Structure formats: C-alpha cells, structure tokens
Amino acid sequence: MKICFYDTKPYDKIWFEPAAKEKGFEITFQEVKLNRDTAVLAYGYDAVCIFVNDTADKETIEKLARYGVKVILLRCAGFNNVDLKQAEKAGIKVLRVPSYSPSAVAEYTMGLILAVNRKIHRAYVRTRDFNFNIHGLMGIDLKGKTAGVIGTGKIGQEMIRILRGFDMEILAYDLYPNKELDVQYVPLEDLFKKSDVITLHCPLTKETKHIINKEHIKMMKDGVILANTSRGGLVDTEALLDALADGKFSGVGLDVYEEEDEYFFEDCSNDLITDSDLIHLTSYRNVILTSHQAFFTEEAMRAIAEITIENADSFISGKNLNNLIK
Ligand code: NAI
C-alpha cells in the first residue's frame, strides 16, 4: 500500500515510519497541506493521510479520485475538513482516529484554565525579568465554582472528571445527553448564565459553528473564563474580541483559532502577520493562544500512528472498517 502523508512535521515521521514499516507500507511525507493544488502529489497512491488543517473539499476529492486514491486516512478525530458527501460519491472511504488520548486534551484544557485564572503565563515572564511584583496576578479559587462543559463525549467526560477533582460544580450541555453519565444536563442558556468557567468539547458542525457568539457571550457572567481546545470555528472571533475589549472575560484559553490553517504548526516568527484578529487576540494579556497542541503527548502520538496504520491495513486487507466515517 502506498500512502501520501500531507502536512507532515519531523515528529510525524518519528511515530509513523516504524508503524508503517511493520506493515510493509510505502509512505511519502509531504510538508505541504492537502488542497486542490497539492492533490496531484498523491497521483498513483492508494491513500492520503491528512491532519486537521488539510482541506479535502469537493474539488480536492474529485482530483484525488482521478489520481487513484481510494482512502483518506485522517490522523485525528475531527473531520470537519472533509466533504464526506463528495467522498462517498467518488467511492473514497474516509477513516479516522476517533479516540487516542482524551485525557491528553482534557489535561491540557485544565492547564489553560489554571494558567489564565492565576496568570501563570504573566508571572513566568515577570520573574524571568526579576520582576517579583504580584500586583495584577490575582485569580479566583476554582473550588466551589461552576464549570459548564459543552459536549460530553470522550474528552468532555475526562474534563468533568478533572474539574470534579477541583471540587467544582458541573453543568453540562450536549445535543445528545448521555443518560449513563452522572452529570446535570441543563439548557445551553442556563449553562452560559450560571458558569464561572466554560469549556468547549463538541465537534464543529453547522449547529455548533459560532456557538460562542455575541448573544451567548452577553448571557455569561462577567469575569467568566472560557477555554476552547475543540475547534476554532466554535467561537465567533469578532464577538470574542469585542467582549475582550469590554473586559467581559477574566481569562480565555484557546488552543484553536477560526483562521488557524495558515499559521498553526508553522514557524511564522520571521513573517509579517497580516491576520489582524490573530494579532489582536494575542495582544490581550488575559488570553493564552496556543497552536493546536492539546493532543500532543507521547501516548497520543503513539496511538494516532498505530490506529491510522491499522485503519490502512483494515482497508487494504478487506477487514471491518471500524473507524469508517459514514
Ligand atoms: P466525541 O465525539 O467523543 O464527543 C463529542 C460530543 O459532542 C458528543 O457527546 C456529541 O453528542 C456532542 N455534540 C455533537 N453535536 C453537538 C452540539 N450541536 N451541541 C453540543 N454537543 C454536541 O469527541 P471527543 O473525542 O470528545 O472530541 C471532541 C472534539 O475535540 C473533537 O470534535 C475535536 O474537534 C476536538 N479535538 C481537539 C484536539 C486538540 O488537539 N485541540 C484533539 C482532539 C479532539
């Protein structure tokens, strides 16, 4: 089996090369992202392996099918970047890694919440400059406060477990509440009105796009903390920026950004950044923005590589496709 990997970094090679070698797969690592212009690199390959910021839209998929690609292997859980209808039409199967390490993402989310609450990022910079003044670094106790968790799937459940460890009250919202879960589900509006911390763990869909918008932000408590480690499109950046300017949030932790495709995972430190929203967001001292790294642990990378290669193996050897996206 020949697999063309897109948007690869040195750490992808470290984890994927041995896993592919074991199965005797031939793999090529491309640094460029998949899109309609780069699809041609997959000519003659059986599969493409893509990540969160590759684009498998209608035109790209049509091209991939023409070049002989039969399967798209997502080395991530989210699949909002793939036109599934077009893939089905083109006879291309789409497989993903539905779960690799929910705790990796949940633990990171808690890290962001703790950091923005207690201003650890600012304290780090101060003490490096021998500024030992703590004025402006005050946070709140999380114990006894209310956390609103939107999306109670694998990561959301890990998040609830961690937040309970901090003795927080939990309010949850999910389009499909999990009856087996011992948590209080509330309407979305109530969650927004009552939570001191709000954390997003639902996928990006038509329904969830801009779930954090002007109207919903208005419902939130003043001084609320928001964490988004799910997908950038869940937050209306303009509405967030307006609210930040009004001092609505005491802290915002973002691992994802609506327009991240062009910048995230790349070293742009020598480039002129033209995205004014990105510049604006990073200028707020109560915002921590990181580059989609919540998943990035050894355990997660090992699992992602193993499951992706297993998906490829199941496809080529005609086994059950357990991780097929329908
Ligand atoms: P999951 O599929 O286990 O859980 C998602 C939950 O969201 C489900 O309970 C589902 O019912 C719920 N949901 C669906 N539509 C909804 C809606 N309209 N409103 C409220 N809830 C809704 O997924 P998992 O593994 O927990 O991942 C959640 C998200 O985290 C992924 O979709 C992905 O976008 C993001 N993610 C981010 C990573 C990072 O590195 N920053 C890494 C892995 C995932």
Crossing angle of helices 102-118 and 120-128, in 10° steps, is 60
Q: What is the pLDDT of residue 7?
A: 96
Q: What is the pLDDT of residue 171?
A: 98
- CA–CA separation, 147 and 160 (whole Å): 9
Q: What is the pLDDT of residue 123?
A: 98
Q: Which residues are paired to 95 by β-bridges?
A: 73, 324
Q: What is the residue-level pLDDT of the chain in tens, covering all 326 positions?
A: 999 999 999 999 999 999 999 999 999 999 999 999 999 999 999 999 999 999 999 999 999 999 999 999 999 999 999 999 999 999 999 999 999 999 999 999 999 999 999 999 999 999 999 999 999 999 999 999 999 999 999 999 999 999 999 999 999 999 999 999 999 999 999 999 999 999 999 999 999 999 999 999 999 999 999 999 999 999 999 999 999 999 999 999 999 999 999 999 999 999 999 999 999 999 999 999 999 999 999 999 999 999 999 999 999 999 999 999 98
The answer to whether the CB of 232 is under 6 A from ligand 1 is no
Q: What is the pLDDT of residue 27?
A: 95
The answer to whether the CB of 255 is under 6 A from ligand 1 is yes
Residues 280, 282, 283, 286: is their CA dihedral positive or negative? positive
- CA–CA separation, 296 and 104 (whole Å): 7
- Name the percent of the chain in helix, strand, coil, to the closest 5: 40, 15, 45
What is the Å distance from ligand 1's center to 220 Cα?
22
Query: What one-letter code names the amino acid at 252?
Result: V
Q: Which residues contact 297 (CB under 8 A, 6 or more apart)?
A: 101, 104
The answer to whether the CB of 175 is under 6 A from ligand 1 is yes
What the chain holds in terms of domains, given with CATH numbers, is: 2-100+297-317 (3.40.50.720), 102-289 (3.40.50.720)
Is-above-0.85 flag for pTM? yes
Under 8 Å between Cβ of 259 and 234: no
Closest atom, ligand 1, to C-alpha of 296:
40
Most ligand 1 atoms within 8 A of CB, residue of 52, 161, 181, 201 to mutate: 201
What is the Å distance from ligand 1's center to 303 Cα?
18
Q: What is the pLDDT of residue 219?
A: 98
DSSP state of 65: H
What is the Å distance from ligand 1's center to 31 Cα?
27
The answer to whether the CB of 139 is under 6 A from ligand 1 is no
The answer to whether the CB of 325 is under 6 A from ligand 1 is no
Residues 44, 48, 53, 59: is their CA dihedral positive or negative? positive
The answer to whether the CB of 295 is under 6 A from ligand 1 is yes
Closest atom, ligand 1, to C-alpha of 152:
9
Q: Which residues are paired to 26 by β-bridges?
A: 2
Strand locations in the chain, DSSP E? 2-5, 26-29, 47-50, 71-74, 93-95, 146-150, 169-173, 184-185, 197-200, 224-228, 249-254, 287-289
Using the CB atoms, write b or e for 10-49: b if 16+ within 10 Å. Answer: eebeebbeebbeeeebebebbeebbbbebbebbeebbbbb
Most ligand 1 atoms within 8 A of CB, residue of 202, 205, 290, 297 to mutate: 202
Closest atom, ligand 1, to C-alpha of 155:
26
Phi-psi sector, 119: left (phi>0), alpha (psi -120 to 50), beta: left
The answer to whether the CB of 230 is under 6 A from ligand 1 is yes
What is the Å distance from ligand 1's center to 99 Cα?
10
DSSP state of 221: P
The answer to whether the CB of 208 is under 6 A from ligand 1 is yes
Under 8 Å between Cβ of 236 and 211: no
Report the SS3 class of residue 18: helix
The answer to whether the CB of 75 is under 6 A from ligand 1 is no
Q: What are phi and psi of 191, to 5 degrees?
A: -60, -45
Q: What is the pLDDT of residue 203?
A: 95
What is the Å distance from ligand 1's center to 232 Cα?
12
What is the Å distance from ligand 1's center to 151 Cα?
6
